[in-house]
Structure formats: C-alpha cells, structure tokens
C-alpha cells in the first residue's frame, strides 16, 4: 500500500505541474457537460412536442364541425378561410403571370422536359393553350401533368365540387379543399408549383349550347391547341366530341376508368378500336349515328369483366326507401348508382391523356395505334349478306339477279361492332362473322316496281350476327324451310336478340 500511495502521489504531483494536462481535463469535462445539456434540451423539446400534440386532439365531448359536411360529402367552405401560405402563393402567381419571375428559374424547373423535348418542343408547349373538360380523377391528373410539364395556358371546365369520396383519386385535392369547386382547387394547388402558368376556371357544366363559348379562343385570340375530354356523362361527352370533330379542334378522350384494375391493358388508340368498356361503347354508338365512326384518339382499357371483379353497384335499399332518388344526383339525369373506382386507374388514364397531348403539341415522334382495320372484313360480310338475300329470293321464286339491299359497309360495321359487340348471338364466337335475317321473310319483302331492279325491303333491326357456319344452317332451316328461331335456339339466345334490338331502336330514336 505504501508503494502504491507513493506512486500515486508522484503522478498527482506530475499532473498538477503540467499545465497542458489541466487544460485537457477542463476541456473534456466541459464537453461532457455540453453534450449532456444538448441531450437534455432535445429530450425536453420532444416531451413538450408530444404533450402539445396530445393536447391538440379534441376530447370526444368537445365541440366539432362535423355538421359542416353537406349531404353529398362536401364541406361547407367559409369566407376568408384561406391560409397565409395560400394567399402568398396566389400573390406570387399573379406576379409571375405578369412577368415578375426569373426565366432561369422556370428553365431550371423544366430542365428534364427541356432536354427531352428540346428547346423548340418546350417552347411550343409553353405557348400552348389546352382545355380540360372534366376535372375529376382523370382530368385532375391530366391537368397536373400538363402544368408541371410547362403548358402555358390551361382552361378548366367542371361544374362539380371536391367531395370526401373524390380524395381517393384526385391529383391535388386535400381535406381543406372539400366543398370547393374542382376547377378552383386545381388552380390554387398548381399555382404553388407552377406560378407562371395561366389558368382560366369555368365552374360550369359543359353543354352543346355553350360549347362555342366554352371551347372558344383565349383572351388574346389564341385558339385551343388541344381539348381533353374527361367527362363521365355520355350525352355531354358526345356533344363535346362532335363539336370538336366538326370544328376541326384536336381532341383526345378518356373512356371509363371505373371498375378497371389492370394497368397493362390501358391503351391509346382510335375510338373505333376501343372495346370492353360500356362508356366507350355507348359513346361510339351515338357518334356513329351522327356519322362519326373514327378519327378520335381515346384512352381505353381492354380489360374484360369477370367473376370477383368490381361492377357498377345499385344504390342501397335504404337510399331507395328515402324516395326522390333523382335528388341524390348532383344534376338531373346524371348517374346515381355507385361506380367502384380504384384510385390508381384514373391517374393512369389522365397521365396517358396528358402524355399524348404533350407529344402531339411538341411534335415529338410517336407511333399512333391504328384502328382495327376491319373495313375489308365489313365489305366481305356485306357481300355475303347480298348473296344470302339473292339465294333466299330465288328459293321463293324471284329472279335473283339485281337484288339491291339497303345496307352499306358503314351499316355493317355499326351492327357488327356496336349492336352485336363483334360476336355471334348464337355462340358468342368472334371469328368468321356474318349477318342474316332472323326470321323467314313474309309479306311484300321485295320491291319490283322499278324495271330491271329488285329492291330488298330489309330492315336493319331484322339482322342478327352469327358465324358463317351458323348463318348457313340458319338459312337452310329458318329462311328456306320456315322454322321459327324459337324452335332452333335456346331461350337465352332469343332473349339476347330481342334485347339487342330493343337497345338499337332506343338509340335510333334519339337521332
């Protein structure tokens, strides 16, 4: 012990005599105290933050504003409810649109688009004027993509408001936007991203009577470079597409994204090529009745419905029991059934639409998917129908030569694609198709008043689609031997034929 004590005394004496060692010890102690103080301060701040967060959660019995959510899921907006950030963003956007914004900053923000589209392509996009009609799931994503890519002028048209159920698919809406017009929501949120973009918001329902003004030039006289159709109401959709087609306005249309889930089956093609989509089918059908069968690019899904997949749902029994079902829609004649929508699919449709518009405006090379190219097939079906009618006429004692049938190639295409969905009514097969009368002709079905010419009094709603083999059997047993179709086919086939004819008569009555 005496040796250890003497050694420690000597070392203590050496340390005390060393000024450097003293400074080092002092610094070490000070650093340790500083670290302890910082850790303690951070811990205290964390405790206070958690306390503040817990205090901010209202008690279950405290007053709330749930009653401010209206009947259709939209919050009642209050005047002066905009945040200071929103006010600053709006002020910055006003200044930027007047030119008070650094051009270098704009080009830096658009740098990736610039190197992709080249300076010339980006310049075209920045000068472009695009109209988006319908600002829901599809339209909001298309608008956001165009704005972020540098589109200079955007006119937004939509009558509707952001609802709580909109938030699963809307591109930019937040809870704070519920109850506000969709067009104003888009402008407010996108101005915070691209303040130099010019917006014109029309909180209106698009209609045939207002089309000329809603799709008219910008304030400076610039005509729209492109129109995007993101409407989910068939009549408004057809009115928009017809107006654009007849007035030479470039338009691209989004077909239905509801009940779709397979992103690998989303395509851009001509409207004549779209399939497996009720919205697309009804739109095509009405356009064909107006003489428009192709020439309109659309985004569509070829996904087929199937067991276990989502489908259009009826309103619940409780809602029907309330009565006044029409009042449940935002507008008269608009759908009030529940349309299941996976939030990702409208985004895909909207981005595809915006992508197409950007490539078209900038002149970027791209291959456009062709239509089905089935004109030759329709011509062949028409010739088969002509031959069938001549054979039937000969069987019934008429001269077969020169029989004229009141059917054109366009009629064949319409009936094959729109009425019969490109499939046989008997077997559902889609190959080697033909058209035939459904029943044996009766009465005066040939007009021979014109010398040298026999006119076939064939009504279009007498025609049924079959395969060629089914047609030949039908000719033998029904058109020649006189059997009734009900004797030859299952009840389901007979009901399908009658249902399709009823649908066709209803469509033609709207012409």
Phi and psi at residue 61, to the nearest 5°? -95, 0
Average pLDDT over residues 380-399: 83
Q: 122 and 154 in contact (C-beta within 8 Å)? A: no
CA angle 326, 329, 330 (to 5 degrees): 130
Query: 403-404 and 454-456 as β-strands: parallel, antiparallel, unpaired?
Result: parallel
Digit-coded pLDDT (tens) for 254-305:
998 888 888 888 888 888 877 667 777 888 888 888 888 888 999 988 787 7
DSSP code per residue over 198-245:
EEEEE-S---TTTHHHHTS--TTSPPPSEEEE----HHHHHHHHHHHH
How many beta carbons lie within 10 A of that of residue 95, not counting itself?
13
Query: 129-133 and 226-229 as β-strands: parallel, antiparallel, unpaired?
Result: parallel
Q: How confident is the model at residue 458 (pLDDT cuts 50, 70, 90)?
A: confident
Cα-Cα-Cα-Cα torsion 227, 233, 237, 240, nearest 10 degrees, comes to -70
How many beta carbons lie within 10 A of that of residue 50, not counting itself?
10
Q: 446 and 393 in contact (C-beta within 8 Å)? A: yes
Q: What is the Cα–Cα distance from 55 to 48, expressed in whole angstroms?
A: 10
Digit-coded pLDDT (tens) for 128-140:
999 999 999 999 9
Question: Of 6 and 1, which is predicted with more confidence?
Answer: 6
**Any idea which of 46-50, 305-309, 460-464 has the lowest mean pLDDT?**
46-50
Q: What is the Cα–Cα distance from 293 to 462, expressed in whole angstroms?
A: 22
Q: How confident is the model at residue 371 (pLDDT cuts 50, 70, 90)?
A: very low
Percent of the chain with pLDDT over 90: 41
Residue 44: per-residue pLDDT: 63
Residue 31: per-residue pLDDT: 63
The per-residue b/e assignment along 143-157, b for 16 or more CB within 10 angstroms, e otherwise, is: bbbbbbbbbbbbbbb
- Where along the chain do its domains lie? 2-56, 84-309+344-362, 310-340, 375-509
Q: What is the Cα–Cα distance from 457 to 42, expressed in whole angstroms?
A: 92
469 CB contacts (<8 Å, ≥6 apart)?
Answer: 432
Digit-coded pLDDT (tens) for 434-450:
999 999 887 776 666 66
In terms of Cβ atoms closer than 10 Å to its own Cβ (0-12, 13-18, 19+), residue 15 is exposed
CA angle 87, 90, 95 (to 5 degrees): 125
Query: 251-254 and 226-229 as β-strands: parallel, antiparallel, unpaired?
Result: parallel
Q: How confident is the model at residue 197 (pLDDT cuts 50, 70, 90)?
A: very high
70 CB contacts (<8 Å, ≥6 apart)?
Answer: 76, 179
Between 3.40.50.10420, 3.40.50.10490, 3.40.50.720, 3.40.50.300, what CATH number should domain 84-309+344-362 receive?
Answer: 3.40.50.720
Average pLDDT over residues 383-400: 80
Q: What is the Cα–Cα distance from 117 to 362, expressed in whole angstroms?
A: 7
Q: 354 and 141 in contact (C-beta within 8 Å)? A: yes
Average pLDDT over residues 333-342: 62
Nearest to 204 by CA among 186, 225, 183, 223: 183
């Amino acid at each position: 012990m005496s040796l250890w004590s003497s050694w420690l005394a000597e070392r203590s004496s050496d340390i005390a005599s060393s000024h450097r060692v003293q400074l080092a010890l002092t610094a070490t102690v000070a650093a340790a105290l500083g670290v302890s103080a910082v850790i303690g301060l951070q811990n205290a701040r964390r405790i206070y933050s958690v306390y503040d967060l817990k205090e901010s959660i209202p008690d279950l019995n405290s007053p709330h504003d749930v009653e401010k959510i209206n009947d259709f899921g939209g919050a009642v907006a209050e005047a002066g409810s905009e945040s200071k950030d929103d006010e600053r963003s709006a002020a910055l956007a006003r200044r930027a649109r007047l030119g008070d914004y650094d051009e270098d900053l704009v080009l830096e923000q658009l740098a990736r688009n610039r190197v992709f589209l080249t300076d010339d392509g980006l310049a075209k996009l920045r000068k472009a004027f695009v109209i988006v009609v319908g600002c829901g799931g599809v339209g909001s994503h298309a608008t956001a993509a165009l704005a972020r890519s540098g589109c200079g002028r955007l006119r937004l048209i939509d009558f509707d408001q952001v609802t709580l159920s909109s938030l699963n698919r809307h591109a930019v809406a937040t809870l704070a936007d519920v109850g506000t017009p969709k067009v104003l929501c888009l402008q407010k949120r996108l101005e915070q991203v691209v303040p130099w973009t010019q917006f014109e918001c029309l909180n209106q329902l698009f209609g045939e009577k207002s089309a000329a003004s809603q799709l008219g030039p910008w304030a400076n006289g610039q005509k729209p470079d492109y129109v995007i159709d993101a409407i989910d109401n068939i009549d408004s959709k057809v009115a928009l597409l017809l107006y654009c087609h007849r007035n030479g306005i470039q338009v691209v249309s989004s077909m239905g994204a509801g009940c779709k889930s397979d992103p690998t089956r989303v395509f851009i093609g001509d409207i004549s090529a779209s399939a497996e989509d009720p919205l697309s089918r009804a739109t095509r059908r009405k356009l064909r009745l107006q003489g428009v069968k192709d020439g309109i690019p659309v985004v569509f899904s070829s996904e087929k419905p199937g067991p276990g997949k989502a489908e259009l749902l009826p309103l619940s029994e409780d809602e029907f029991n309330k009565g006044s079902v029409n009042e449940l829609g935002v507008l008269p004649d608009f759908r009030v059934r529940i349309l299941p929508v996976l939030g990702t699919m409208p985004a895909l449709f909207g981005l595809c639409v915006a992508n197409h518009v950007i490539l078209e405006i900038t002149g970027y090379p791209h291959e456009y998917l062709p239509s089905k190219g089935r004109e030759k097939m329709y011509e062949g079906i028409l010739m088969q129908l002509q031959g069938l009618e001549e054979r039937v006429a000969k069987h019934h004692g008429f001269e077969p030569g020169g029989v004229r049938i009141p059917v054109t190639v366009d009629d064949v295409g319409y009936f094959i694609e729109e009425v019969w969905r490109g499939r046989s009514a008997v077997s559902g097969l889609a190959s080697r198709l033909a058209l035939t009368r459904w029943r044996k002709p009766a009465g005066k079905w040939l007009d021979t008043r014109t010398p040298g010419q026999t006119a076939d009094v064939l009504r279009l709603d007498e025609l049924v689609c079959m395969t060629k083999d089914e047609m030949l059997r039908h000719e033998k047993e029904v058109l020649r031997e006189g059997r009734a179709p009900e004797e030859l086919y299952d009840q389901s086939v007979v009901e399908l034929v009658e249902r399709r004819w009823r649908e066709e008569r209803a469509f033609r009555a709207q012409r």
